[in-house]
Structures are given as structure tokens and as C-alpha cells.
Amino acid sequence: MQRVGLVEPSQIEALYQKTRGLPYYLNRIRETHLKGQTIDLTQDIRQLFFPNLNVSQTQMLKLVACCRWFDQPLVRHLAGEQGLSFQSDANGDADWFEWLKQLDFLDPTLKPYGLDDVARSTLRELMCNDDREAFYQTHEGLAAYFEGRANQVVAADQPEPEKYNDADWCNYCLLYTSPSPRD
């Protein structure tokens, strides 16, 4: 805080209340200070996560934040449940997630690609705060998607205990994340 010129306890408290210590916001404050600009504590954190994104991209980013990685079939499933559609090129060859791969908060260690944990948690919290019902519907869609995938790898009449012997079934069952925005 001292390096960016914030030494007053009231300023530090206001900063913490606004940012909750989120590194993306703190980095923006640092960058602002290095440019010699005035630090604006009223800036909405949404500007950090949704700069220059259109409505469809913003909605997709929120859906992706509910997933652990960029899974195109899963996001298409979730988008379809919410009545959203995302365009691709005429040939269908465009990488649907190419613009997501350019975001600052992508976790470069994840393959397949995914958002880093701080961004993912923050975006999920924003989604929950914006529209709690849509947030829970998205997680119901996640549960239904992975339950459907799990049921595709085992016979429907297979006894429940035997399903646990199938690694794929277990993986699909474990992929669903709880709907808490802070998980």
C-alpha cells in the first residue's frame, strides 16, 4: 500500500472494503499509480473482468466461471438451457474459446484451459449477486450434464455400488461443483 501512496488507515480500509484484497483490483491500482494517474476507489470490479466484452461474451464468461476448464460441449449445454447462443464462423472451424484464451486471468498451467481460482471465484460471486436464480439454474444444469455423462458410461440397471468401480462414472460424478459462489 505504501508503494502506491496509500498510507492513511481510512484509505487502506476503504480499499480493502472495495476490493476485498483481490489481486486483480490491487494490480490495477498499482498500474494506475505507476502511470501517475489518480487512484479511483469507486471503479467497479466488473471493469476488470469485462473490459470490452459484448453481452454474449460476458454471459459466456460467467458460465465458464462455473466450470473448471473451457469445455465447449458443457458451455454450449449451459448456454442452451439459458436460451443463449454464441456464434462461430460460417465453417464452424473457429476456436470458440480463442478470445477467452487472451484474458489476463487465464490459468496457464491448466490444460485444457481454465480461469485461475481467484478470477473464477470472483466471477461466480458476481454471477450469484447479479442473478441468484440464474446462478443456481446454471449449477443445476452442471449437475444434470455430468449426471447424463455418468449415465452414458454405465448401464442404467447397474446396481449403485458397482457404478463406483467405473473410473469414468466416478470422474463425471466428481466434476460437479457445489453452487456456493465462494467455493
Q: How many domains does the chain have?
A: 2
Q: What was the pLDDT predicted at 57?
A: 81
CA distance 168 to 176: 14
- The proportion of the chain whose per-residue pLDDT surpasses 70, expressed as a percent, equals 83
Asked whether residue 50 is assigned to any structural domain, the reply reads no
- Quote the pTM value: 0.70
DSSP, residue by residue, 76-138: HHHHHHTT------TTS-S-TTTTGGGSTTB-TT-SS--B-HHHHHHHHHHHHHH-HHHHHHH
Q: In which domain, by residue range, is 10 found?
A: 2-43
Asked whether residue 133 is assigned to any structural domain, the reply reads yes
Give the confidence band of 89 by pLDDT, cuts at 50, 70, 90.
very low
Same domain, 66 and 146: yes
Asked whether residue 73 is assigned to any structural domain, the reply reads yes
Closest CA to 70 of 103, 21, 36: 103
Asked whether residue 183 is assigned to any structural domain, the reply reads no
Same domain, 81 and 151: yes
